[in-house]
Amino acid sequence: MKITKLLILILSASNFIACGQIGNHEHTEMKNINYDEITNANVRHAIETWQKADSEKWFFLFTKDATLYDDGNPRNFLKFSTKAIGNEYFTSIDKIEDNSLSVYGKLHSDTWGDFKTYFKFHSNENGKFYKLEIGQAE
């Protein structure tokens, strides 16, 4: 009986640590986001897919050799996406530019907290994204 109680305590504590509930980390609630302001249908679909943590649909929108730049530094698109989807999401979309290819807003990350960010999509003639630039926005 004591082992069962200890196991429950350990599992409960690990759940709090895994989602960042111990310490000063707070979960930011996602506001109602008006996706209609994103006039590029593929970008709108990508952001909606990101928000829903649907990695299968997210990867479908990109070429197989898609590249990622994080604050100008090259990163592995597949590794980043796999780790971030479901753990990072927009809490607001504040600005859209470049014919809706650039989306700026506030992002919540279970790892890094809350900050302003941008996602800049680059698409080929078939509408697939071959490059994604992300980073902290001013």
Number of domains comprising the chain: 1
The domain in which residue 124 lies consists of: 25-136
Would you say residue 15 has pLDDT above 50?
Answer: no
Residue 93 located in a structural domain = yes
Tokens 């809350």, located at residue = 114
- Pick the closest to residue 118 from 131, 101, 108, 105 (CA basis): 105
pLDDT in tens, 96-130: 999 999 999 999 999 989 999 999 999 999 999 99
Confidence of residue 33 (pLDDT cuts 50, 70, 90): confident
**CATH code where residue 37 lies:** 3.10.450.50
| 77 phi/psi in degrees, rounded to 5 | -60, -45
pLDDT score for 93: 96
Give pTM, 2 decimals.
0.77
Would you say residue 30 has pLDDT above 70?
Answer: no
Residue 17 located in a structural domain = no
The amino acid occupying position 115 is F
Q: Please give the Cα distance from 59 to 90 (Å, whole number).
A: 18
Q: What residues contact 35, with CB distance under 8 A and at least 6 apart?
A: 44, 47, 48
Residue 8 located in a structural domain = no
